[in-house]
Structure 1
Amino acid sequence: MKRSLKTLDITYAAMFVALMAIGANITSWLPFLEVAGIPLSMQPFFCVLAGILLGSRLGAISMFVYLLVGVAGAPVFAQFGSGMGSVLGASGGFLLSYIVTAFVVGLIVERQANPGLKTFMSASFVGIILIYFIGTTYMYFIVNYVLEGTMSYLAAWGIMAWFSVKDLVFTILCALIAPRLYHTLNKTTKLANTRRIA
């Protein structure tokens, strides 16, 4: 039983590592998803979905592995970036926020015995708020205290306003599709466990 669970865990975590890499550079394959010169990254969507479907622990682990893969040199960050420089750059806070977000989102869902649309909607919005708060605050700090630039905290949020509409849409979409995916995944996991015990 433990062996089957471990195999499933690794498979699910690896799947979301791959989805995060695809989500970071989706406009490279689908350029029509770029609006007004702004690439529509799907990373927040996949991060929140990882927390919902994998739970707090495995969701956070999948995001941590994604970060490690990128830091190790694989071009999995936005614009096919990689290395520690991406984490220490102005947008590095978003990469770090994914770990925290997946954990918190998973925790919200786990606290409900039978989570429904309301739970998934709440978890999704908490997730996107966390991503924006951590990422924007980090960007403000890096620009002002590391890069020695000048940016007000309000200006930092003004920049993120360009991305907020698409992330709001993706957040609602995530919450709407989450119930079916969540319950299907649970059934699959239980079936695998039953077969293992048999």
Structure 2
Amino acid sequence: MSETLSRERSHAMVQVALFAALTAVLGLIPKLDLPFGVPITLQSLGPMLAGCFLGARRGFQAMALFELAVAAGLPLLAGGRGGLGAFAAPTSGYLVGFILAAAATGLLMGRLPRATPLQAAISAFVASAVGGVLLLHASGILGLMQFAAMPLQKALLLDLAFVPGDLLKCAVCALVVHAVAKAMPDWPLGGRRR
């Protein structure tokens, strides 16, 4: 019994570390800098995937591990940034939002239909749109208001530049979930068995 429990914990730790590392790898893809200090990157795909595949708790843990590594100074953010200064920059709202986005995406994914690969893909798109777009962007807007001293209306307007790309990331997440659901039908999407 304890060996099985230990194996499950080890498996969970590996999954958390894997999705934290995946988010770091997504930061290696070149970013597109915008004039107001927040770049367009692929890293926001990380919380979407973590939430869909690991569920709320482990998705949260994966993004918390990623951010702990960033805070420790590892250059894991797009453009090779890291350190505590990243949490006081205009991007900080989005960065903190990674944790919330993964948790919300996972929570929603665990409650939506996942019985077939198509259902899982549609659910992944919806969960990613709510957690990885709505919640992440809300957090990002708060960061822009706080650390770039922008009024709400300007922060909302500037944030709109990210929405089309993030909706494409939701579609990519859905395609990945579809492929995994077909190839590995026993994977507990959203952290829950079907």
TM-score of Structure 1 vs Structure 2, range by shorter chain: 0.7 to 0.9
The aligned counterpart of 1:147 is none
The aligned counterpart of 1:31 is none
d(CA) in 1 for partners of 2:157 and 2:112?
35
Change over 3 Å in CA distance of 1:98–1:182 after alignment to 2: farther
1:33-56 CA distances to partner (integer Å, 9 max, x unpaired)?
A: x49899541111121110000011
Question: Which amino acid is 1:53 matched to?
Answer: F
Matched, 1:100 2:100: yes
1:168-183 matches, within 5 Å, as: 168-182=167-181
Matched, 1:8 2:11: yes
The aligned counterpart of 1:194 is none
Compute the displacement of 1:165 (Å): 1.9
The aligned counterpart of 1:74 is 74
Measured on the aligned residues, the alpha-carbon RMSD in Å equals: 2.4
d(CA) in 1 for partners of 2:184 and 2:6?
18
Compute the displacement of 1:85 (Å): 1.1
1:18-43 CA distances to partner (integer Å, 9 max, x unpaired)?
A: 11112223117xxxxx4989954111
Q: Which is worse superposed, 51-60 or 114-123?
A: 114-123
Compute the displacement of 1:188 (Å): 6.0
Q: Which is worse superposed, 175-184 or 79-88?
A: 175-184
d(CA) in 2 for partners of 1:173 and 1:91?
23
Within the candidate set 17, 23, 28, 1:25 is matched to: 28
Change over 3 Å in CA distance of 1:9–1:173 after alignment to 2: same
Matched, 1:143 2:142: no
Matched, 1:164 2:163: yes
Which protein is richer in helix relative to its size?
1
The secondary structure found in structure 1 opposite 2:30 is helix
Question: Which amino acid is 1:121 matched to?
Answer: F
**Identity rate of aligned residues, in percent?**
25
Compute the displacement of 1:182 (Å): 4.6
CA contact (8 A) 1:56 1:107 kept: yes
Structure 1 runs, 4 residues or longer, greater than 3 Å off: 34-40, 112-115, 182-186
Within the candidate set 130, 135, 155, 1:126 is matched to: 130
Change over 3 Å in CA distance of 1:35–1:141 after alignment to 2: closer
Structure 2 unaligned regions, length at least 5 = 189-194
1:101-159 CA distances to partner (integer Å, 9 max, x unpaired)?
A: 11111111212463523322210110211111111122112222xxxxxx222221222
Matched, 1:53 2:38: no
How many residues align? The count is 178
The aligned counterpart of 1:85 is 85
CA contact (8 A) 1:53 1:185 kept: no
d(CA) in 2 for partners of 1:168 and 1:110?
20
Question: Which amino acid is 1:67 matched to?
Answer: E
Question: Which amino acid is 2:124 matched to?
Answer: F
The aligned counterpart of 2:192 is none
